[in-house]
Chains A and B, each alone.
Chain A
Amino acid sequence: AQSVTQLGSHVSVSEGALVLLRCNYSSSVPPYLFWYVQYPNQGLQLLLKYTSAATLVKGINGFEAEFKKSETSFHLTKPSAHMSDAAEYFCAVSAGNQFYFGTGTSLTVIP
């Protein structure tokens, strides 16, 4: 069975500080992992995805994530937070035709 756990439903960082959003997964098959972002009143936008190639994945807007099989993790990072990064972030694992999402992490950026 596939599942995703996102630790921390709310994360606050200062502008310019490191962003770290945590995601741990459970999968009975080699996972394909995704991070989506949702800005207010918008749909889910793909940030990046891991599909068994490089373990360090770079996405849009300066975000990246590292797949660590030993830790079953796929944490999302950004070296320097920007005000425009304030949004809801969802980690997801895919299995066949379905995506399994985490509960989401709301990121607040403090000026």
Chain B
Amino acid sequence: EPEVTQTPSHQVTQMGQEVILRCVPISNHLYFYWYRQILGQKVEFLVSFYNNEISEKSEIFDDQFSVERPDGSNFTLKIRSTKLEDSAMYFCASRPPGPWVETQYFGPGTRLLVL
């Protein structure tokens, strides 16, 4: 069964460094998402992406964040200058074309630790 994959599974970085989290959505999906979960807190929406542009973003998704679909398969989240509070689990999700109620399929997550 097709699944969303994410790399790396764990990333440790120094504060102020740039990180790129990578996701490979399911191949026929057209809508892509990033969520994050700070330890012990809710899974929070960051951004949605469709037709090569951001369709929605949350207040969390400030100028230090960016997303890109550099080729036909990868979907990346870049954090330009990491802060301690960016430490979290980051989930990528995708969904197929169709009504917005269609299920989102989630990857296993990347655990980011900023020191």
Interface residues, chain A, CB within 8 Å of chain B?
Answer: 32, 34, 36, 41-46, 49, 51, 90, 92, 94, 96-104
Contacts and interface: CB of A to CB of B under 8 A. Distances in A.
Given A43-B107, A44-B106, A94 B101 contact: yes
Given A43-B4, A92-B43, A102-B42, 14 more contacts: A32-B101, A36-B106, A42-B108, A43-B3, A43-B6, A44-B93, A97-B31, A97-B100, A99-B43, A99-B93, A101-B35, A101-B42, A101-B43, A104-B43
Contacts of A42: 108
Interface string B74-115: 000000000000000001010000001101111111000000
B91 to A, nearest CB: 7
**Size class of the contact patch on chain B:** 20 to 34
Nearest to B6: A43
Contact of A100 (B45, B55, B101): B45
B56 A97 contact: yes
A20 to B, nearest CB: 21
Contacts of B103: 34, 46, 49
B104 A99 contact: yes
Contacts of A45: 106
Contact of B41 (A32, A92, A97, A103): A103
B91 A44 contact: yes
Interface of B: 3-4, 6, 9, 31, 33, 35, 40-45, 48, 55-56, 58, 91, 93, 100-101, 103-109
Contact of A43 (B44, B55, B106): B106
Contacts of A49: 103
B75 to A, nearest CB: 15
Contact of B48 (A44, A46, A97): A97
